[in-house]
Chain A
Amino acid sequence: MTTSTVLAAAGSVSGGEAVTFWILAPLALLGGIGMVAARNAVHSALWLVLTMLCLGVFYVLQAGPFIGMVQIIVYTGAIMMLFLFVLMLVGRDSTDSLIETLRGQRVAALVLGVGFAGLVGTGVFQALEKTTAVGLEQVNAEGNVQGIARLLFTKYVFAFELTSALLITAAVGAMVLAHIERRKQDKIDQPSTMRARFAPGNYPGPKPGPGVFATSSSVATPARLPDGRLTDRSTPAILPQRELTAEETSLKGTNN
């Protein structure tokens, strides 16, 4: 008798299973409620992680160790981690506002949600109350993993492959939408940058600073070259060049 069959013998609930269930089920519910009630998006995600972990343990209890572990690895480990990744990029201060955009929306959602849960719960309970589970021993006869693999790669191989094709299509679609085409000639490497810098028509040195003189402190004032000419390169292109009057451009003597 292996561990998994000890945990969930068909039809009867063992003591350990019951104890684990009654500890984890309130936690799972708490996680669900916390996810909706939390103001902070990251806290919401963490409550959901709690619920998913509890679900994973439930699967293990129900003699499905493989699906339980996959639940933890894939959903909790990868998908929720991606969620967190996005939420953290959004920023930690982004909390929900308390203002209701639709009047009475929260109360209505609460009533409908509780009503729906009640309906589903009672329905499932009524339907399954007198039913005894059968066939668990048979499907897990050669091991849980082997049983799943046998079904997945024989009977359900087509559905399985279709699902993976769907997922890959979605992933490729997202990549195509997010991809920005960059042609090869748009990428300039270091040697060609240097060649362009020293090519004729381009001045390789740094640009001169703006001409901030005693008469003017504006960055729009062009600087002077050694031969006395003004240079356009010293002023930013978006600024209008300031016209200097004849008085401003004339040299200021000291002794007259």
Chain B
Amino acid sequence: MSLLLAQDPTLADFGQDPWWLVLGKIVFAFAFGLLATLLGVWFERRVVGYMQVRPGPNQVGPFGLLQTLADGLKMAFKEDILPKAADKVVYFFAPTISVICAVTALSVVPFGPMVSIFGHHTPLQVTDVPVAVLLLLACSSMGVYGIVLGGWASGSTYPLLGGLRSSAQMISYEVAMGLSIVAVFMTAGTMSTSGIVAKQAHGTELSIFGQTIPAPGWYAILLLPSFVIFFIATVGETNRAPFDLPEAESELVAGFMTEYSSLKFALFMLSEYVAMVTMSAVTTTLFLGGWRAPWPITLWEGANSGWWPMLWFFGKVIALVFVFVWLRGTLPRLRYDQFMRLGWKVLLPINLVWILVLSGLRSIEDWDSRGKLIAVGIPAGILLIATILWPSRRPKTKPTTQEQVDNRPYGSFPLPPMDLQVPPSPRITRVVAEREPANIVAGSDSREV
């Protein structure tokens, strides 16, 4: 066990590398982002194709793997259009801001434990700071600038609307996201990503009424509401379907990137996919145990040491990217007001109540079992009684067609009943014989015409 624990990097292990190792790690993280985009686009198109019962890209390279590369090369040779009304400098910088922010976030993601590279004992992570998760939040909040400025600098209406939508959307969902991370901070007691992964190694020992129950280590299970809200907010934050309102094709053409073409457009695409992969990696780190192997694999002793954990990490990331694609293939886009209501009126209050409950549970951790029973039982009892005694609204009984007709004031125009059902086709045999005729009143209203 001590051997396994030694694999966990601590904050003191960072900042000890020679320059070539640091450079190598940075290049690796950057290449990971680019490669993830190349394969991610292919993966998304294949999976969505499978879900829609069509092959998807399958011509270029084995299984169509090189399709994205071919598209990227073609995109590089397209004409770079600069609209006349565009603000030239900002128009140029907007895609770069997006990409830089998306890639920078990868620098604090732990890919694996301590490994030995050419004799150097070093963690598989570019760097870690005591506030690493805040750095992730900062990157995602700065990434909004790329979209907003791109929309503004294009100098036309649809991009501007897309940019405005996206700024409102990202600010709203960042609040929900930040609050769900608070629960992780409270449980882990640290903000460094490697520290959070280390804390998820072993389940905390819950002692309920004198019995010690080992709880699972993953925060996705331990803090399920936070995990669900975080993932929903992540989808909102990365502008992915069903929350892709800034680039809603049916309303805004292509949103903030309507006027972009060639490599600048490619940069926006790149940043979107890198952000998706980064957010999956962050979710894995914060809630799914990071690079640690899930249960059946841990039966093998060496699962969490050496280079193997990178495999588990990539497996979890790919699974989450699949969920992103799955959501896109399944759910229709939300309307803007529904989307905002979900963010502010559902996710935020649930999050606040959950944090309150969690901090309450944590503060009574040291009490004796009788005190715990009282502290948990009284609020739970009040909640139960309130639920039982809450006045339920009885649905009004629907008036029959005849009553509807009778209730109409004199002089009304004849109108079909509110619950008019389409009569069945005369060609099919009628099963229901005693159906009320729909237009029962046609004769009696003739005086008003």
Residue numbers of A with Cβ under 8 A of B are 1-4, 6, 40, 42-43, 46, 49, 56, 65-66, 68-70, 72-73, 76-78, 81-82, 84-85, 88-89, 92, 143-145, 191, 198-201, 204
Contact = CB atoms under 8 A, between A and B. Distances in A.
A85 B168 contact: yes
Contact of B129 (A65, A76, A81, A199): A65
B66 interface: no
Contacts, number: 98
28 contacts: A2-B11, A3-B14, A4-B129, A42-B87, A49-B145, A56-B138, A65-B129, A69-B131, A69-B134, A69-B138, A70-B134, A73-B134, A73-B137, A73-B138, A77-B137, A77-B141, A77-B142, A77-B174, A78-B141, A88-B152, A88-B160, A89-B164, A92-B87, A92-B160, A143-B130, A144-B131, A198-B412, A201-B411
A43 B127 CA distance: 33
A32 B443 CA distance: 81
A189 to B, nearest CB: 13
Question: What does DSSP make chain B's interface, helix, strand, loop or mixed?
Answer: helix
Interface residues of B, number: 38
B134 A81 contact: no
B152 A92 contact: yes
Question: What does DSSP make chain A's interface, helix, strand, loop or mixed?
Answer: helix
A187 to B, nearest CB: 15
Contacts of B129: 3-4, 65
A204 B409 CA distance: 15
B11 A77 contact: no
A116 B170 CA distance: 39
A88 B163 contact: yes
A81 B170 CA distance: 10
B131 A66 contact: yes
Contact of B412 (A69, A84, A88, A200): A200
A4 B44 CA distance: 41
Interface in B143-172: 144-145, 148-149, 152, 155, 160, 163-164, 167-168, 171
Given A6-B15, A76-B142, A92-B87, A144 B130 contact: yes
Given A3-B15, A92-B155, A77 B134 contact: no
B138 A88 contact: no
B28 interface: no
A84 B167 contact: yes
